[in-house]
Amino acid sequence: MKQLSPTFVAALSLILLAGAEPQSIAQSVSVSDVVAFTPNTNGFGNPVFNPAQGRNGLLYGVLGNGSDNNPGTIFDFSAQGATSTIYVAPISAGYGQMTSLSLGTDGSFYGAVEEATVIGTGSYGNLFKVTPGGTFTVLHYFNGGSDGGFPFGAPIEASDGNFYGVTLGGCCLLSTVYKYTPKGEFSAIFTFSSPQGSSANYVIEGFDGDLYVTCGLGGASRNGTIVRLTKGGKLVSIYSFPGGTGGSEPGGLVAASDGNYYGSTLYGGNQNHGTIFRMTPQGAVTVTHTFNSTNGGSYYPGFLIQATDGYLYTVNARGGTFGNGAFIRVSTQGDYSEIYSFPTSVASQPNYNMQATNGLIYGTAVTGGTYDAGAIYSVNERLDPFVAFVVPVGKSGESAQILGQGLTGTNSVTFNGVPATSFDVKSDTFMTAAVPDGATTGKVVVTTPSGKLISNVNFRISK
């Protein structure tokens, strides 16, 4: 039996705390349902993982728990809540839980299926891509051998144009890091031993171009690790979480605007309710916040994001005023604020968030909402619209792909103050710009008829 990501297990299986729900409560931000899912509509509900934004400005997500009667679906939705189903997995495939999606530079979305409930080809999971129109293609079937098994987390497109992802492993399988090239070549570039980590759950590309992988288990103290690898699969460093006040069972990392990496642990801290930590580029790890029953009763923090205001945001699958979970803001220094408690009517068991280029933060909740079948909610922190990149790295002369809104009529694009010599507005929500000679790492500013849109992250100039 495979080992599931601890964060994933917490999001799906925590039992809601009992308690009456007050009629109203003063909340410090505006939170509302964008989509409230209906039970048994096409056999689907219960969204998991963060949505991904497409070139067309729509957001894309996944539904379904992966059973013969509920094999999973991929859907899109607008900021106004209009939804459409773009792909439904065939019942005969018996696909298990799909991961979140990531947008590739070819305009398609990439993801993985953890496992199949029907034994046979792909019963250890598969890697796939799906177009915005719903054309679904399996790129690799995991066989539980040297390629690993049970992929988790969306694969990422890195600066070299290849996709990288991880497999959880479990039972008799070791976790792996895999690579998939644009030519269709699949390879496992690294296989973990238990002292290096197990139950690998997420990978990001760091500021230095290396891969940073979090493992929920394994390591020197068996509390999880952060492993740094080159894209060729060479091990650079390992950090082992000590457990106790130092945290245990990490999720993914976010590369923050201050040049450090931040993440959360599901357990550990003073009361074993989880932590938020900082890791420097040199690999030094410090706990910046500990969750406990005295700061809102929050438990088990989820995946972190950094919004355009510089704050880190996460959710707890349970806790808060109603016991249904809470939306949390934490500064990079560790200053904590529980800014919204979810009533069941909005959402329950929230798990992942992302910030769209309209400035709003969107999240998924496994249950709750109008019909108690889960919801997509939005959080309005009154943050300005911005532009984002499909891949935030490039060389002089290469084309950077930019997502946004209101891009029609753009009259200039600058890379850290250096004007782009050419740009092409493909639509109101997608454009490209040539990286100019002399540009250095920094913000990209797109000037439109409505004003300036500043990138949410630095565009890194590579050699």
> What pLDDT score does 123 carry?
81
Give the per-residue pLDDT at 119. Answer: 58
Dihedral (CA of 17, 21, 27, 29) sign: positive
Grade residue 271 by pLDDT with cuts at 50, 70 and 90. Answer: confident
Query: Comparing 6-14+28-380 with 388-461, is the CATH topology the same?
Result: no
Name residues whose C-beta falls within 8 Å of residue 92's C-beta, 6 or more positions apart in sequence.
Answer: 118
Mean pLDDT for 75-88 is: 90
Closest Cα partner for 331 from 314, 310, 362, 307? 310
CB 403 within 8 A of CB 53: yes
What is the pLDDT at residue 121? 67
User: What mean pLDDT is predicted for residues 110-121?
Assistant: 76
Element (H, E) at 12: helix 6-13
What is the domain partition of the chain in residue ranges?
A: 6-14+28-380, 388-461
- Under CATH, which architecture does the 6-14+28-380 domain have? 7 Propeller (2.130)
pLDDT category at 58 given cuts 50, 70, 90 is very high
| pLDDT recorded at residue 13 | 31
Mean pLDDT of the chain: 88
Predicted local distance difference test score (pLDDT) of residue 73: 85
- For 273, the 3-state DSSP assignment is coil
> What sign for the dihedral angle of Cα 366, 87, 203, 311?
negative
The pLDDT of residue 41 is 52
Q: What is the pTM of this model?
A: 0.91
Per the DSSP assignment, residues forming a β-bridge with 287 are: 277
| Percent of the chain at pLDDT exceeding 70 | 87
User: Tokens 């995946």, residue?
Assistant: 303
According to CATH, the topology of domain 388-461 is Immunoglobulin-like (2.60.40)
Q: CA dihedral defined by 23, 25, 27, 30, rounded to 10 degrees?
A: 20
Task: Provide the pLDDT for residue 162.
Answer: 98
If one counts every other C-beta atom within 10 angstroms of the C-beta of residue 32, the result is: 13
Q: How many CB atoms lie within 10 A of CB 282?
A: 7
Sign of CA dihedral 175, 204, 272, 27: negative
Is there a contact between 40 and 22 (Cβ–Cβ < 8 Å)?
Answer: no
Q: What confidence tens digit (pLDDT) does each residue in 29-40 have?
A: 889 889 988 876
At residue 94, does pLDDT exceed 90? no
Beta pairing class for 225-229 and 235-240:
antiparallel
* CA–CA distances in Å: residue 309 to residues 276, 291, 332, 357, 371: 18, 22, 11, 13, 33
- Sheet architecture: strand order including 109-113: 102-103, 109-113, 126-130, 136-141
* pLDDT score at 294: 63
Contact 81, 61 (CB under 8 A): no
Contacts of 138 (CB under 8 A, 6+ apart): 122, 126, 127, 128
Tokens of 61: 């997500």
Confidence (pLDDT) at 176? 97
200 close to 214: Cβ distance less than 8 angstroms: yes
Instruction: Report yes or no: 299 and 291 within 8 Å, Cβ to Cβ.
Output: yes
**Model confidence band, residue 19 (pLDDT cutoffs 50, 70, 90):** very low
Distance CA 51, CA 32 (A): 16
Is the pLDDT confidence value at 377 over 80? Answer: yes
Residue type, 292: N
pLDDT, residue 233, reads: 98
